[in-house]
Every structure is written in structure tokens, then in C-alpha cells.
A and B are shown apart, each in its own frame.
Chain A
Amino acid sequence: MSWKFCVGLLLGLAIGLGCRWLGIPVPAPPVLVGASLVVAMTSGYLLADHFLAARPARHRHHCGGPSGDTQETRT
């Protein structure tokens, strides 16, 4: 765990404490179950990302891209 991540976690804790102390709405779910649902959504996203990255792109030649080619030069 890098020191920047530790600083981020401490900053998150401080933001949560400060929001409760000052009566400001917190930019996160105020219940631990809601925050764990956010983690579950991110985990599902990363799992699907891992699954997609494991397969080669078989239709890359059908896709366009920022190559600078115009439609006239392709045909």
C-alpha cells in the first residue's frame, strides 16, 4: 500500500468526520452497507474488465480510429 493511498484514506476519513461535525451532506452513502455496495459495483466492473481484457479483439479491422484516413481514401 503506497503512502499516497494511505494519505487518501486519511483524507476520506477526515472529510467524513468534517461533514458530520459541520452538518454538511457527505459525498458518500452515510450507511456502511451503501458504501460496500459501491465497492461491489466497482468489483463487478473490474471483474468484467479482466474478463474482456483476456480475449483478443477479433473485429478490430472493422473498427475506425483516429488514423487520419478519410472515407475517400479507404475506398
Chain B
Amino acid sequence: MMQLMIGPLLALAIGAGCRLLDIPLPAPPKLQGALLVVAMTVGYLLGDQLLG
């Protein structure tokens, strides 16, 4: 449970640090791109459920 709380905070800090230090981000820099990553994961999990 603690790791689930620390993870998003660490990810937020990594994103902010990458922008402040002008380092390339290991994620899409647009929100639409990040939501497409989520869509791919949801599709994968749906396929996992359908195929058993």
C-alpha cells in the first residue's frame, strides 16, 4: 500500500525534474500519448480476460 502511494509521487517528481533539468522524459510528453499507453494496457488486459 505504501509503495502504491510513493510510486505516483515519484513518477510526478521524475516528470517535473525532467522538465526542469531539460532531460528527455521516459514517457510521452503529451497527455494524449500517455492515455494511449493506458489504452494499450487496457486492451492487453481485456485480451487477457477474453482469452483466459
Q: A36-B8, A38-B27 are in contact. Are A47 and B16 (CB under 8 A)?
A: yes
Q: A26-B41, A29-B41 are in contact. Are A5 and B47 (CB under 8 A)?
A: no
Residues 1 to 21 of chain B near chain A (Cβ within 8 Å): 4, 7-8, 11-20
Does the CB pair B42–A13 fall under 8 Å? Answer: yes
Asked whether any CB of chain B lies closer than 8 Å to the CB of A3, the reply is: no
Does the CB pair B41–A16 fall under 8 Å? Answer: yes
Q: A13-B39, A36-B38 are in contact. Are A44 and B46 (CB under 8 A)?
A: no
Residues 21 to 40 of chain B near chain A (Cβ within 8 Å): 25-40
Residues of A at the B interface (CB closer than 8 Å) are 5, 8-21, 26-49, 52
7 residue pairs, one from A and one from B, having the closest CB atoms: A16-B43, A44-B15, A12-B39, A20-B47, A40-B11, A48-B19, A44-B12
